[in-house]
Amino acid sequence: MLYHLYEAQRALMEPFSDFALVTAKLFANPSSPLAQTPFSQRVAAAYDLLHRLGKDYEKPEFGIRSVDIGGVHVAIHERVEIDKPFCELRRFKRYSDDPQTLLRLKEQPVVLIVAPLSGHYATLLRDTVRTMLRDHKVYITDWKNARTVPLSEGDFHLDDYVNYVQEFIRYLQRQYGNCHVMSVCQPTVPVLAAVSLMASRGEKTPLSMTMMGGPIDARRSPTAVNNLAVHRSYEWFENNVIYRVPAGFPGEGRRVYPGFLQHAGFIAMNPDRHVNSHYDYFLQLIKGDNESAEAHRQFYDEYNAVLDMDANYYLETIRTVFQEFKLVHGTWDVRAPDGTLERVRPQDIRNTGLLTVEGELDDISGSGQTRAAHDLCTGIESRDQRHFEVAGAGHYGIFSGRRWREKVYPVVRDFILAHQPPAGGADVAAAQAEADLMASAIRRDEPAPTRGRRRKTEPGA
């Protein structure tokens, strides 16, 4: 019923939000008579803020059109490589007609970024992706809003998340020989499980794992998020935060943890900060500080865009990660696609480097929670393990913003490169020849050449 009431309220607010936007423009447009009044800027700012407080925030775009790599403008084409019922494996393919740049792109490591499925869309990692594209071939898990997934697709469980990650890793291994995996926040746990299961079966594992701000061991330095899960029973969560998707959505009838409840939880953690931020936005509009106002819009366009999570996945995550701590206790069994149960054994991982990253001021994943991965992965040589604590960084600062770009990224980049096998001489020569052919074809505006029976090779990486 709560979900139905929320949707009714949203539908009721929509015309008022649209009216507020129109009114704000009328009072802000210099050619409008209303803009000539003494308090026009204040009125326009007030209506603009009212619009943003009442509008519906849809899934943003990544919007990464190009990156600068070594002073060369490289175009980015975003496309879906694998489309699963609850997730898309999204690729950011880089294109250049400069032969040397193209050669460099083809030699760079392949990285699978596993984005959180914890309320926000994968676009929250936009800055992460944009920065990683400088030196890596980048793929990301783009999780779907559960209310858009029809009931005919079945349920989504934590085991399915682990199996998805394994499938995506195998796909990249088939394409490139191997890959690196990077997980941010919530997915550190299922990613560690996925790699552990692959190692236990004797499969090839990723060259490295980078784990950032995740609840590997949520018992350490518990935060407000951890305490809520511990002090409430599994039944409480099931009875109080799980609702069915109302009519009008493809996933009508699906049991979900609604995104608007998660968003309310985010706001409740730091209400004063958000109130002050919106008040500052109001003042920025009055002063005409358009740059600061636009930065506010961009942040909240992302922060306020939330998705629903399948109830099975959400409840199993609460129980497995935050209540029973199955990963650290060694009692976690994951159901494979064929129905067999497999025990998660991180100690079986041997040939994968492990980098953990934590923020000094992280109020979501407390100090030591991510570092706990080193205590579990006892089979990895000490020389292939590293921990990095980011001074002065909160949760978002370790993967977005100035601290991420200037402090964290160089560490991540160098760790991945240290675990990337050098390209053989023959491979380099072949790549150079292919790069020359591609560039020549592009300059003549001809189709790219092909080799043997392979499909047409694109001038990108």
Task: Please report whether residue 198 resides in a domain.
Answer: yes
Based on the domain organization, do 278 and 161 belong to the same domain? no
More confident residue, 228 or 1: 228
Q: What's the confidence (pLDDT) of residue 458?
A: 59
Q: What's the confidence (pLDDT) of residue 432?
A: 46
Decide if pLDDT at 442 tops 90: no
- Structure confidence at residue 441 as a pLDDT band (50, 70, 90): very low
Based on the domain organization, do 275 and 320 belong to the same domain? no
Task: Please report whether residue 445 resides in a domain.
Answer: no
Based on the domain organization, do 137 and 177 belong to the same domain? yes
Q: How far apart are CA 11 and CA 260, in angstroms?
A: 14
Question: Where a domain ends, among 418, 438, 453?
Answer: 418
Task: Please report whether residue 424 resides in a domain.
Answer: no
Based on the domain organization, do 169 and 268 belong to the same domain? no
Helix (H) / strand (E) element for 363: namely none
Based on the domain organization, do 319 and 291 belong to the same domain? no
Q: How far apart are CA 285 and CA 42, in angstroms?
A: 8
Decide if pLDDT at 357 tops 90: yes
Q: Which of 233-247, 267-281, 351-365, 435-449 has the lowest mean pLDDT?
A: 435-449
Task: Please report whether residue 425 resides in a domain.
Answer: no
Question: Among residues 188, 60, 194, 84, which one has the least CA distance to residue 143?
Answer: 84
Based on the domain organization, do 198 and 338 belong to the same domain? yes
Decide if pLDDT at 449 tops 80: no
Q: What is the extent of the structural domain holding 380?
A: 76-241+309-418
Q: What's the confidence (pLDDT) of residue 446?
A: 44
Kindly write down the DSSP assignment for every residue of 149-164, as one continuous string.
S-GGG----HHHHHHH
Q: What is the mean pLDDT of the chain?
A: 90
Q: Which of 142-156, 213-227, 434-448 has the lowest mean pLDDT?
A: 434-448
Kindly write down the DSSP assignment for every residue of 293-342, as one continuous string.
HHHHHHHHHHHT-B--EEHHHHHHHIIIIIIS-HHHHT--EEE-TTS-EE
Task: Please report whether residue 427 resides in a domain.
Answer: no
Using one digit for the tens of pLDDT, what is the confidence trace for 176-211? 999 999 999 999 999 999 999 999 999 999 999 999
Q: How far apart are CA 144 and CA 308, in angstroms?
A: 9
Q: What's the confidence (pLDDT) of residue 448?
A: 42
Q: How far apart are CA 114 and CA 138, in angstroms?
A: 11
CB atoms within 10 A of CB 102: 26
Based on the domain organization, do 354 and 399 belong to the same domain? yes
> 352-376 b/e with 16+ CB inside 10 Å = b?
bbbbbbbbeebebbbebbbbbbbeb
Based on the domain organization, do 220 and 294 belong to the same domain? no
Region for residue 449 given its phi and psi (left: phi exceeds 0; alpha: psi -120 to 50; beta: otherwise): beta
Instruction: Scan for tokens 């209506």, then name that residue.
Output: 47
Using one digit for the tens of pLDDT, what is the confidence trace for 416-439? 999 999 875 444 444 444 444 444
More confident residue, 372 or 98: 372
**Rounded to the nearest 5°, which phi and psi values hold at 201?**
-85, -10
Instruction: Scan for tokens 């990692």, then name that residue.
Output: 125
Q: What's the confidence (pLDDT) of residue 426?
A: 40
Average pLDDT over residues 305-322: 96
Task: Please report whether residue 435 resides in a domain.
Answer: no
Q: What's the confidence (pLDDT) of residue 324?
A: 96
Q: How far apart are CA 188 and CA 255, in angstroms?
A: 25
Query: By three-state DSSP, how is residue 73 classified?
Result: strand
Decide if pLDDT at 233 tops 60: yes
Task: Please report whether residue 91 resides in a domain.
Answer: yes
Q: What's the confidence (pLDDT) of residue 460?
A: 73
Based on the domain organization, do 15 and 82 belong to the same domain? no
CB 398 within 8 A of CB 212: yes
Average pLDDT over residues 443-447: 44
Q: Which of 163-172, 231-240, 331-340, 452-461 has the lowest mean pLDDT?
A: 452-461
Question: Where a domain ends, among 397, 418, 439?
Answer: 418
Based on the domain organization, do 12 and 153 belong to the same domain? no
Average pLDDT over residues 114-125: 95
CA dihedral sign of residues 357, 359, 365, 367:
positive
Q: How far apart are CA 65 and CA 43, in angstroms?
A: 36
Q: How far apart are CA 380 and CA 199, in angstroms?
A: 11
Based on the domain organization, do 288 and 316 belong to the same domain? no
Query: What domain count does the chain have?
Result: 2
Decide if pLDDT at 124 tops 90: yes
Based on the domain organization, do 330 and 391 belong to the same domain? yes
Q: What is the CATH number of the domain that holds 184?
A: 3.40.50.1820
Task: Please report whether residue 252 resides in a domain.
Answer: no
What spatial distance separates the first Cα and last Cα of the chain, rounded to whole Å? 49
Q: How far apart are CA 88 and CA 414, in angstroms?
A: 28
Q: What's the confidence (pLDDT) of residue 136?
A: 97
